[in-house]
Amino acid sequence: MMKRPRSTRDRRQKVALWLVACIFLAGPAAVALSRGSGTARPLSYGQFRKQLERGEVASAIVGVATIEGTLRERDSSGAPVAFRVSRVGMEHDQDLIRLLDDHLPDGSYSAEEPPSPIQALVFPGAMFLLMIAALSLVISRSGGFGSAMAFVKSRPKLYAAGEAPVTFEDVAGHDEVVTELREIVEFLRTPGEFGLLGGRPPKGVLLVGAPGTGKTLLARAVAGEAGVPFFSLCGSDFVELFVGVGASRVRNLFARAQAKAPSLIFIDELDAIGKARGSGGPGGHDERDQTLNQLLVELDGFDADRGIILLAATNRPETLDPALVRPGRFDRQVVVDRPDLIGRAQILKVHARSVPLDESINLQMVAAMTPGFVGADLANLVNEAALLAARRGKTSVGLSEFEEGIERLIAGPERRQRLIRLAEKRRIAVHEAGHALVARCLPETDPVHKVTIIGRGNGALGYTLYRPEEDRLLHTRTSLDHAISSLLGGTLAEEIVLGEVSDGCTSDLQRATQIARRMVMEFGMSPLLGRLNYGREATSSGPGDSPWSEQTAREIDLEIRRIMDEAEARARAILETRRATLERISAELIERETLDGGALERILAESHPAPGAVPASASIA
């Protein structure tokens, strides 16, 4: 039997709900209409008695629940004023008839006839039956009376065999991870073969990595390769307002997976329910703790030999409960790291399959310009480049669109319409020229790819873009010292050429100070303090809670100051020695607004002295 489309069921449920609402509103409305137009003056029972004793009442009709009638008072049209009295407060008044006889002796009062059997029984009964019928219709359209407790059931997305088209061919840049997960596929296909020598397949596999690295894609690829039902949901789907619902949903999820074994369960953002118990304060997360406890029980209870494997992903593994990640529950942790140069090129090829590329484009060069990008960033880059090419009326995507897309992702869109005074434009040009010149003259720094004074985003008035020739996994003390010098080159260029600095160096100083602090406190690069790690977490301690003495804290500050002073001296020596080159680069930026790496190399080649060596006065002490 073919299932009715979900949208049709939803529409009919909404119609039934509207029907119930109309019935609930129709009853009071009918009663109100039966009682008149509602223009009568409302009176309390006490006011009615006083006006009756004063002879101001002309006529009255005593009903079951109300007294209605007219006053001797006339309105603006000359008609008698109608009144209405609710029967509250007069149920036990035995003198009401006597008062009416005394003050209305002409018989201008009467009693309302009692309701007929149809009004008293049939009409309320019919309303009740209609409401019951409407509620039954809503429940039946929702899946039966048992669906009244459907909120305690898990609601994962189920991808059956053939409905998860993602395979390992769609995954690029993670060859080691794919090799690790291929074993999981074999476990799901032939779970019995791995127990021949006494081994057992893992119960759980935890994917750990930064956001956007492709953890969810890898999970779907495992299900697509294995060809088994794939239950996918997020950790927050277990969290509910009602106590005990999360644990019930965990039980229901594993029961459904057991019924379709072999199968794969994938829980994204596991840290939503897997945080260490007691970390959120006393009594603050009882429901989450109950959900986590039930998950731990289910992981211990089900048998992986039956072909059920739990796959989870998180980017905060340090927050997970130790009982959750111990062997026997999550037996394996697979790190999905940021892709390297080769991995980024492979990812770009995957995302560029449906995009017409220019024949001259080299994706390896594009990958070299995107250090630190994850798979989601690269997918967004290809999309941005395609949109830019379409906006420019091109039939293919070229290198210029990719370069523009990278700059948009890093610094934001261009702001050419921003009005900048000529003096400020010159200061920005001098600042960026200082960055580029210092970085170009020092070894172990990334090559300068582009220098521009065109603002981007919310705060960048100009920027210098570097293009690493290869990925760096380690940084030496020299490379960190020179990185600080290049960061200080902008503000020092302003001081040397323009005589004073501006507030445009805030982010440069923050980054330079952070590097110097980490060199001293984390990397052990201070000759005075030695090979010690003082830990970043200790820097947030309150007064008197520091794990080191005041003397050590002072020595840390002095060492950070020394590193910054030496980097400043190094950059100042370069800028003062090559001030003519600095002025020329600034002039070119003011005229052209943007200089690429080739134009910068041309200016440096024509300058004197040659930019190959560091001035002697700037050597490291």
Tokens of 299: 């992981």
Sheet holding 463-466, edge to edge: 463-466, 448-452, 594-596
- Please identify which residue in the block is written with the tokens 């289910």: 298
φ, ψ dihedrals at 165, nearest 5°:
-70, -5
What pLDDT, in 10s, does the model give residues 599-618? 888 888 887 655 554 443 34
555 is catalytic: no
Q: Distance between CA atoms of 121 and 124, rounded to whole angstroms?
A: 6
Average pLDDT on 565-572 reads: 95
Q: Distance between CA atoms of 219 and 311, rounded to whole angstroms?
A: 7
CATH class entry, domain 344-411: mainly alpha
Residue 414 burial by Cβ neighbours in a 10 Å radius (0-12, 13-18, 19+): middle
From the list 432, 494, 568, 588, the catalytic residue is: 432
CB of 410 closer than 8 Å to CB of 373: no
What pLDDT, in 10s, does the model give residues 371-416? 888 888 999 999 999 999 999 999 999 988 998 888 888 877 777 6
pLDDT reading at 533 higher than 60: yes
What pLDDT, in 10s, does the model give residues 255-284? 888 888 778 888 888 888 888 876 554 444
CATH class entry, domain 422-618: mainly alpha
The CATH superfamily of 157-335 is P-loop containing nucleotide triphosphate hydrolases (3.40.50.300)
Q: What is the dotted CATH code of the domain comprising 35-112?
A: 3.30.720.210
CB of 205 closer than 8 Å to CB of 184: yes
297-332 b/e with 16+ CB inside 10 Å = b?
ebbeebebeebbbbbbbbbebeebbeebbeeebbbb
Q: What local confidence, expressed as pLDDT, does residue 229 receive?
A: 81
- Please identify which residue in the block is written with the tokens 């789907």: 237
Q: What local confidence, expressed as pLDDT, does residue 284 receive?
A: 45
Q: Which amino acid is present at 123?
A: F
Q: Quote the DSSP letter at residue 618.
A: G
- Evaluate if pTM is beyond 0.85: no
